[in-house]
Amino acid sequence: MIGNYYSRRMKAWEQELCSRATNRVVRPFEWGLDWVERWPDAVRTPRNGHGAEAYIKLLNEIALRDSGKFFDYEKPREFSLVGDQVQFRSPVDTPYPENNTVHLRYFPATSKGVPVKKAVVVLPHWNASPHQHVALCRGIQKLGLSSVRVSLPYHDDRMPPELERADYAVSSNIGRTLDATRQAVLDVRASVDWLESRGYEQFAIVGTSLGSCYAFLASAHDERLRVNVFNHCSAYFADVVWTGLSTQHIRKTLEPNISLETLRTAWDVLNPVHYMDRFAALEKDSLFMYTSYDTTFLPQFSKVAVDHIRQRGLKHRVVVLPCGHYTMGESPFKYIAGYQICSFVKRKL
């Protein structure tokens, strides 16, 4: 009885927190081929009469055959540091000038007055405000590790003026969502380039929710990211969007136009499950965190991701908190999560 009451209370709390956002916009369904036509794979393999669905499927197949090439990039040539703000040109060019500049907030740490050579890349959750995850960065800094908080594509100062939310990062526009995810991965790798230019030698990454997906894709394609924290994790991308409480406004547009099976194929290159072997081939140590009552990253998707890691015998730790997706950001769970993240990174890096 107590368990049933707790479950009902947690689900009601999740619903209440999710419903506080009243500015979700139901946008039209689009294949968004204009967003993928500049990809190297698309340039090498023109559409040549393929329908939109068939062409998106083809580009996914090509990218999955050589994901190293798909997530390759040209390192930025110039970085600007003013105060605690770092800026550089994103390796991916989009039609939105604001989004083409990557913003990092820098939290340097010293030990006995000497700069440390270890740094953590922090990726916030979808629609995070500029002030969220700053406390985490400061906590990491107090432990003697430097960190950078990365503003994700279409977030913070990167948000086009017509938006109130980071709708262009994940939406019913298939091609734009693919492009935004690829951009996020390349921006992360370029952020590590900047840290290297500052003399840092060891790196960790902490990703939360959407940031967790970005973090896994980046880490699977960058051997420098040796310590990983995936806060909310899933083996699949499309399934989370289709079933998650926070993305039901996107499903409302998707469902009349595309099946879940077709959506899985259209976003196949974004699925962490495809990069498990690549991830396993690199020397990594990872913390996987998920929650028992998650209404956005349903627990069964997190368990599949962890099962793949266990099957490969990789160094890892699993923490399951008795809360949900939104409630992890509330007391007391945010403090428990923060302790787990900071202690793991400090111990492993």
Which of the four pLDDT bands, split at 50, 70 and 90, describes residue 339? very high
* Closest to 71 measured CA to CA, from 241, 186, 168, 165: 186
Mean pLDDT of the chain: 96
Range of the domain at 291: 2-30+76-348
Q: CA separation (Å) from 272 to 68, 124, 166, 266, 314?
A: 14, 18, 22, 14, 15
142-181 pLDDT, tens digit per residue, is 999 999 999 999 999 999 999 999 999 999 999 999 999 9
Burial level of 273, CB count in 10 A (0-12/13-18/19+)? middle
What are the tokens at 28?
A: 């039209």
**In-domain check, residue 68:** no
**In-domain check, residue 298:** yes
**In-domain check, residue 98:** yes
- Mapped onto helix, strand or coil, the DSSP state of residue 290 is strand
**In-domain check, residue 49:** no
Q: Answer for the pair 190, 102: CB distance below 8 angstroms, yes or no.
A: yes
| Phi, psi angles (nearest 5°) of residue 121 | -95, 120
What are the tokens at 113?
A: 């007055």
**In-domain check, residue 257:** yes
* Closest to 200 measured CA to CA, from 221, 225, 183, 218: 225
CATH no. for residue 20?
A: 3.40.50.1820
208-223 pLDDT, tens digit per residue, is 999 999 999 999 999 9
Q: CA separation (Å) from 260 to 92, 101, 217, 263?
A: 28, 33, 22, 5
User: What pLDDT is stored for residue 169 in this prediction?
Assistant: 98
For the cut 90, the answer to whether the pLDDT of residue 338 exceeds it is yes
Cβ-proximal residues to 286 (8 Å cutoff; 6+ apart), any chain? 227, 228, 229, 230, 309, 314, 315, 316, 317
The total number of structural domains in the chain stands at: 1
Burial level of 65, CB count in 10 A (0-12/13-18/19+)? exposed
274-333 pLDDT, tens digit per residue, is 999 999 999 999 999 999 999 999 999 999 999 999 999 999 999 999 999 999 999 999
Q: Answer for the pair 236, 273: CB distance below 8 angstroms, yes or no.
A: yes
Q: Tell me the whole-structure pTM to 2 decimals.
A: 0.97
- CA within 13 Å, CB half, 128: 21
